[in-house]
Amino acid sequence: MAISKPSLSELKNHNVEVENAFNENYRDYLDTIPQLFYHNAFIIFSNGLEARVGTIDSKWKFFHEWKRLTELDHGNIELPTMLRGICKKENFLDLLENYILYDHSDGKTVKIMARNHQYLGVNQAVEMYRNREYVNGKLGVFWHTQGSGKSYSMLFLACKIRRKFAGLPTIVILTDREELNKQISDTFENCGVLGNVKAKSFIASSGDDLITKLKGNPSFIFSLIQKFNKPDAEPIYPDHDIIVISDEAHRTQNGVFAENLLHLLPTANRIGFTGTPLLRDDNITARTFGGYVSIYDFKRAVDDKATVPLYYENRGERLKELKNPEINEEIAAVLEQAGEIDASQQTKLEREFAKEVHLLTAPKRLRIVAKDFVRHYSDLWTSGKAMVVCYNKVTCVRMYNYVQEYWQKEIEALKKQISKSMYQQEVQELKRKLEWMQQTEMAVVVSQEQNEIQAFRKWGLDILPHREKMEKRELDKEFKNTENPLRVVFVCAMWLTGFDVKSLSCLYIDKPMKAHTLMQTIARANRVADGKDNGLIIDYIGIVKALRKALADYTASPEGGAGSNDPTIDKQELIKHVAETISAATAFLKEHDFELQELIDADTFLKLSLLRTGADTVCEPIEIRKSYCTYITTLLKLWKFLDRDDITQEMKQSKDALEAIYKELQKKRKHADITNLSVAINAIVDEHLELDADNIVAESGSNRRFDISKIDFDLLRREFAKKKEKNLIMKDIQELLQERIAQMMAANPSRINFYEKYQEIIHNYNAEQNRASIEKTFEDLIHLTEELSEEEKRYLREGFENDEQLSLYDVLFKDDLSKEDIKKLKKVAKDLLGKIKSMLKTMDHPFDKQETKASIVIAIRDLLWQELPESYSDESITYYRDAVFNYISQRYGGVA
């Protein structure tokens, strides 16, 4: 890409800072630039005066996007910013030494240079490591949105630390899935970071192998978090640094394996990488890694063109009420024919009803979705590849079959259209589309499970051809290849996270999701690719409710301070409630002839046997099972708010044993076979289900699309954060448990009226699928963002220098002020803020000492008394004095 040549006068007129930047930053090492960058140099300045323009290839185009000198900058693309960033001597040499990689993946060599956000973020992480002795091993949370190059950021960080610090630390890269572990280790290998050694040599094959590697000093270790499976292993205190880099930190730090890691490596430094922000109550992640070390959010990535905008389109259909109440009798008959079902089957069946499984997977409904998908995607045939997210594995195969059927019908319709067309230009375009449709291949991508062939056959489906395709071909590589005809995949869990396909442009969602999973899933379509202007999210299920919840949850402070949402009045009360819950659960087990302490004290083999015995003890009847589960879910909810210093060894042992029994119960439920019942109930629901044809989307162009990137997630997060949540006063733990147990008993599936239950489900489903309400939700969010943006600019309109002055003015403002009074009040706000900030600079912890607090109060009172307009009564001075002091102490309470 050629760059127009700027004249010297144009450069000087542009900004004096540019000329200064030439003299400061270029002159000393100007002559080295051609040798360093060869023909890739985009601008070469000769003698600091005359501009000579070269060429720039695509590998270096991000020089134009050096928009910030710090992460706090709003960002601009002016030449001085680029010069002060890239061309500052220290930065230039840093970039050259530490931020260029050569990736040899797929038989090609690609030059990778850090983008602006990667350079800033990684350097902040490096500084945290430099000061590691002061942060107790917590290097922070590195939140860079999906698609912004987190894997390369890990590489840059690891390489720079090992290059710039003495002692050659061991760097442990943690993931929680085999495919992610292979992906990141292959990236390190392909970029030459591992030398001539294959990545598999650095991968921990087992828990024992991991410990062996950690006792040595290898440069890198790649491991699953699950390999930290030795709770009783002796802690390792190496004479060198160990740095743990956790990918998708919010997933990997909430469990026994993470606890084992901290036990095994008590002196390790830890940094967490995540593509989504911490949830509001995610105390554990913040407690493990500390606050945010770097933030590169969704909106900023779109603004910087690191990712493409995502558009949202709702295409869900509405349902009519079930035809008649006979469904109740028919489902009851199916259950009666099945005979006795155990508690695990009953619990699993109840979960299906609660999750609306049979409603959402009814064949009539799936056919409607499949038909609409074919029409919609075939209209967008030049846009890129598509992913269809289905409810479960069975539904993936069903949807695949239905789509094949409608795809062939669309091909036949297209052929007829070609034969009838009278316009040659239209015929040529239609023929190209026909060829594309005939060449397009589709695939089901789901994980394998035991007895899947028999399970699918009960549904009248054959998984074998799909499994053979998944095993014999490298579908992931084919789908990533833009030219490959594999253009549509049907998934339910696989490929939703950690799988980047640049050419994926259309994501069709027909599965309820929330929080991290939802945000990570929609980001599958935000990767930058040639010819791709945006990604498109097509919603058949109504994810807006979950999106609203995610927005509300993503309100953790940028500092990631744990404990800001502590659910108790004080920590001692929380510890007391945890202890009471453990005692209550232990007593409950004892009432049913099981001693928890025996499980805690048992060795490995006896422990497994006692674990199964404990699960059997509370498995049946259903009332006992639910009571026990209520104790444990309450315990786990409270537990996450504890700091590690609050937990005694006895508490941890009891909690782990209670949780192990609970997980054994979940395992029983998961493996309970209710396939025959589900098939029968699904058929009954499908028979009685009617679709409201009037509300089914007919044409692609009839739906409104919303640019999700227009919703300023960061602005919304900050606004939510302003609203201080009141601490919850917890009830007596026994009352809380009894209340929850009573609620769960009321939902016993053996007594439920299925007809009423499904009527309620349909009502709720329709409420979420109402297109008008969904559109209003997005409009409200975008409107709120605009209002907040305008509020941030208000201080300029009011004639203030910053938002601090405006805030103090708002504290002092009252109704019925004259124009002259308002003018005086603005001066008071400016003078008062200046005086207070000057005082604070001279004080040490001013709000911790009575004498300094008193001096601040007196200063506020005196200035208000002297300068407030006469319309403020003498009696009101005290009120405004206190209001100002409260505001100042809250805003500047951390000033030292």
Q: What is the DSSP string of 294-324?
A: EEE-HHHHHHTTSS--EEEEE-PPPBPPPS-
pLDDT in tens, 501-559: 888 888 898 888 776 677 677 767 767 767 666 778 888 887 766 666 655 554 343 44
- Report d(CA 612, CA 619) in Å as an integer: 10
Give the bridge partners for 438, in sequence order: none
Which residue's entry shows tokens 């007919």? Answer: 698
Within 13 A of 601's CA, how many CA atoms are on the CB side? 4
Q: Is 339 left (phi over 0), alpha (psi -120 to 50) or beta?
A: left
pLDDT of residue 662 exceeding 60: yes
Among 282-286, 416-420, 515-519, 787-791, the range with the most confident prediction by mean pLDDT is 416-420
Question: Residue type for 517, please?
Answer: T
Q: What pLDDT is stored for residue 434 in this prediction? A: 92
Q: What pLDDT is stored for residue 471 in this prediction? A: 93
pLDDT in tens, 265-300: 999 999 988 876 665 555 667 677 888 888 887 667
pLDDT in tens, 322-336: 666 666 666 666 665
pLDDT of residue 849 exceeding 60: yes
62, 115 in Cβ contact below 8 A?
yes
- Report d(CA 798, CA 796) in Å as an integer: 5
pLDDT in tens, 169-219: 999 999 887 878 888 899 899 998 898 889 899 999 998 999 999 998 899
Closest among 278, 287, 231, 223 to 257, alpha carbons compared: 231
Q: What pLDDT is stored for residue 27 in this prediction? A: 43
pLDDT in tens, 627-637: 888 888 888 87
Q: Which stretches within 165-304 are classed as H helix?
A: 178-190, 207-215, 249-252, 256-264, 283-289, 298-303
Q: What pLDDT is stored for residue 539 in this prediction? A: 84
Q: What pLDDT is stored for residue 170 in this prediction? A: 93
CA angle 691, 692, 697 (to 5 degrees): 100
Least confident of 483-487, 555-559, 763-767: 555-559
266, 216 in Cβ contact below 8 A?
no
Dig out the tokens for 426 from the structure: 């239209």
Q: What pLDDT is stored for residue 176 in this prediction? A: 81
Question: Residue type for 877, please?
Answer: I
Q: Which stretches within 191-325 are classed as H helix?
A: 207-215, 249-252, 256-264, 283-289, 298-303
Q: What percent of the chain has pLDDT over 90?
A: 15
What is the edge-to-edge ordering of all strands in the sheet holding 504-509? 441-445, 486-491, 385-389, 504-509, 535-539, 310-314, 705-707
Own/partner pairs for 629-634, CB < 8 Å, 24+ apart? 629/662, 629/665, 630/737, 630/740, 630/741, 630/744, 631/581, 631/584, 631/585, 631/588, 631/658, 631/737, 632/585, 632/658, 632/659, 632/661, 632/662, 634/581, 634/733, 634/736, 634/737, 634/740
585, 633 in Cβ contact below 8 A?
no
Dig out the tokens for 561 from the structure: 């301070």
Q: What is the separation of C-alpha 713 from the centre of its chain, rounded to a whole number of angstroms? A: 12
Q: What is the mean pLDDT of residues 66-82?
A: 68
Confidence of residue 785 (pLDDT cuts 50, 70, 90): low
Among 487-501, 545-559, 704-718, 739-753, the range with the most confident prediction by mean pLDDT is 487-501
Question: Residue type for 240, please?
Answer: H
pLDDT in tens, 512-526: 877 667 767 776 776
pLDDT higher at 29 or 437:
437
Run of H or E residues at 664: helix 649-671
pLDDT of residue 857 exceeding 90: no
Give the three-state DSSP class for 159.
Answer: helix
In this prediction the pTM is 0.64
Give the three-state DSSP class for 208.
Answer: helix
Does residue 621 have a cis bond before it (omega within 30 degrees)? Answer: yes
Give the three-state DSSP class for 535.
Answer: strand
Closest among 542, 490, 494 to 517, alpha carbons compared: 494
pLDDT in tens, 567-626: 333 567 778 888 888 888 898 888 888 888 888 888 877 888 888 888 888 877 777 877
pLDDT of residue 320 exceeding 70: no
7-32 burial, b if ≥16 CB within 10 A, otherwise e? eeeebeeeeeebbebbebbbeeeeee
DSSP state of 73: S
Q: What pLDDT is stored for residue 365 in this prediction? A: 87
Which residue's entry shows tokens 């002091």? Answer: 885
**Average pLDDT taken over every residue of the chain:** 75
Confidence of residue 783 (pLDDT cuts 50, 70, 90): low
